[in-house]
Amino acid sequence: MHFSRQAAIVGVHEHETRWAPDKTDFQLAAESARAALADAGLTLKDVDGYFVAGVSGMAPALMCEHLNIRPKVVDSTSIGGTSFLAHAAHAASAIATGRCEVALITYGSTAASRGVAVGTGGRAGYEIPEQYELPYGLTTVAAYALCAQRHMHEFGTTSEQLAEIAVTFRRHASLNPHAKYREPITVEDVLASRMISSPLHLLDCCIISDGAGAVVMTSAARARDCAKPPVWLLGAGETVFHPEAGKRDFMRMAASQTGPIALGQAGVRLEDIDLCMIYDSFTITVLMTLENLGFCKIGEGGAFVSGGRLALDGELPTNTDGGGLSSNHPGMRGIFLIIEATRQLRGECGPRQVPNCRLALAHGTGGTLGTRHGGVTLILGRD
Amino acid sequence: MSEWRKPVPRVDAESKPFWEACRRHELYLQRCRACQEFYYYPRNTCPYCLGSDVEWVRLSGRGTVYTFTVTYQHGGEGFRDEVPFVIAYVELEGTGGVKMLTNVVECDPAQVRIGMPVEVTFRDVNDELAIPVFRPRGE
């Protein structure tokens, strides 16, 4: 079974803020919800499905209380920063089966202004597997660096190749008025930035910002009456990867499983994709995701990302908003992948618009590549 | 024994034998008698068949570095003052390729390489607990 244009994204909003010390996480999320509903030409009263991540505890109850809504469907699937892509898939299923008609997905975070060291703070919490990790000082950066180091060893991938990813996305950010960092950088700048966890330098790592976003989805019938043209969710795949009881090949990630499923549902091929939105927690995340999705063979990602292929004017424009490496990363970036893809498919992106963008692939990797990560692929298309 | 300021493992019913062996400075892993597969981390149902017929097996403690990272920035208590230090996955000898997250110690971080032979050693947390880490060994 596939979605076959049964559910559409009809409203999106990415909060302009990157620094909001005088606001709460809930306030940012509510402001984006208001703007995304307005974008769709809908109101809070229309919302009967609600999806949220990044809120601890009884998340849907807390946020529904804040928004003062009583939806028919709630979901707080929490698989790291990619959670919101899973929410979009779940919302599409709920809409397709008639369990709800208007789904709202929200996110808000003041990670930067609260001084959260997202990548290097050392992790709290004591889930069962963490007793075998926390005593060794595994940070989020280190967990991705373990994969990067192995990739370099097995395939000869270089720091220069990883750096080109950061340089390309910074160039895209320079075209995005809301991006946190817009000054162009060079490969040399990346290599000269301080080492955080080898082989990942500071500029191989996503930034930390405040931020928020919201997405509104509805049925095909209802979408026709909305303010903006529908962006269809054509296919979705989700899973979680983990150390597999110690036997995992760390060069393989969730994208290897979710990509083919999503493409198959949509009935499209990688060659048809006009835009990629890839969760760029780190440069290595992008390189390995493209490999695992099948854009190139595993091990060939270094060559694949070279020569400007991911640039706006390249063969495979990727992260046109500047990504988490330059635009915004409040801790969980997945929702921004959906928002930028939607805006590109609508043709709203001004100087960073991909010409005639008809089909987009968004892939989120949440959690940590070197231990447990969630992966979700979405295929989005316009009429 | 110097004061341990890093996170202390929260020992549970399934991990107790593993940590008790570590306290004796011995490295044990579980193996499913039906599947004959070693696995890590410890759990009392086999992650291949969900069976409960699993046994504890003492390992040689030798291994090779599968991958590693030298961490230069860490905000956590006990690590902040220790940077740079090495976090690694070590492939454990005699386990059919089981990899264990650990630290590589007692060497210059710049000398650590993938494929490097290492052997287990232990860092005593207190009288009840010791953490398995790895140091270079001869070929």
Residue A360 has pLDDT above 70, yes or no: yes
Tens of pLDDT, residues A29-50: 999 999 999 999 999 999 999 9
Residue A121 has pLDDT above 80, yes or no: no
Residue B75 has pLDDT above 50, yes or no: yes
Residue A273 has pLDDT above 50, yes or no: yes
A338-347, A366-375, B1-10: segment of lowest average pLDDT: B1-10
Average pLDDT over residues B7-30: 97
Residues from chain B contacting residue A246 (CB–CB below 8 Å): 38-41, 92, 95, 97-100
Residues A138 and A132: their CA atoms lie apart, in Å, by 10
Stronger pLDDT, A121 or A71, i.e. the higher one: A71
The band of A258, judged by pLDDT with boundaries at 50, 70 and 90, is: very high
Q: What is the mean pLDDT of chain B?
A: 96
**Beta strand pairing status for A231-241 and A7-14?**
antiparallel
- Whether the CA torsion A119, B42, B37, B49 is positive or negative: it is negative
The band of A183, judged by pLDDT with boundaries at 50, 70 and 90, is: very high
- Whole-number pLDDT of residue B3: 87
The number of C-beta contacts closer than 8 angstroms across A and B is 132
Closest CA to A250 of A112, A333, A373: A373
Residues A283 and A270: their CA atoms lie apart, in Å, by 21
Contacts of B19 (CB under 8 A, 6+ apart): B9, B11, B129
Interface test with B, best of A116, A130, A132 (most B CBs within 10 A): A132
- Whole-number pLDDT of residue A124: 59
Average pLDDT over residues A161-182: 98
Chain A contacts in chain B segment 6-35 (CB below 8 A): 6-12, 14-15
**What is the SS3 assignment for A152?**
helix
- Whole-number pLDDT of residue A343: 98
- Whole-number pLDDT of residue A110: 95
Contacts of A333 (CB under 8 A, 6+ apart): A81, A206, A279, A280, A281, A323, A324, A364
Contacts of B96 (CB under 8 A, 6+ apart): A247, B37, B38
A245–B67 C-beta distance less than 8 A = no
Residue A3 has pLDDT above 70, yes or no: no
Residue A58's CB is within 10 A of a number of other CB atoms, namely 11
What token pair was written down for A268? 């499209």
CATH placement of domain A139-207+235-382: 3.40.47.10
Residue A267's CB is within 10 A of a number of other CB atoms, namely 12
Residues carrying CATH 3.40.47.10, chain A: 7-113+210-232, 139-207+235-382
CATH placement of domain A7-113+210-232: 3.40.47.10
Average pLDDT over residues B125-133: 96
A141–B101 C-beta distance less than 8 A = no
Strand partners, A49: A73, A103
Residues A168 and A175: their CA atoms lie apart, in Å, by 12
Residues from chain A contacting residue B96 (CB–CB below 8 Å): 247
Tens of pLDDT, residues A275-314: 999 999 999 999 999 999 999 999 999 999 999 999 999 9
- Whole-number pLDDT of residue A291: 98
Residues A80 and A333: their CA atoms lie apart, in Å, by 9
Chain B closest CA to A197's CA: distance in Å? 4
- Whole-number pLDDT of residue A118: 75
Residue A77 has pLDDT above 90, yes or no: yes
Nearest to B103 among A136, A146, A200 (CB): A136
Average pLDDT over residues A123-129: 76
- Rounded to a whole number of angstroms, the CA Rg of chain B reads 16
The band of A4, judged by pLDDT with boundaries at 50, 70 and 90, is: confident
Average pLDDT over residues A331-353: 98
- Whole-number pLDDT of residue A115: 87
The band of B1, judged by pLDDT with boundaries at 50, 70 and 90, is: low
- Whole-number pLDDT of residue B39: 98
- Whole-number pLDDT of residue A230: 97
Residues A28 and A110: their CA atoms lie apart, in Å, by 8
Contacts of A295 (CB under 8 A, 6+ apart): A270, A304, A316
B75–A153 C-beta distance less than 8 A = no
- Whole-number pLDDT of residue A1: 42
Residue A2 has pLDDT above 70, yes or no: no
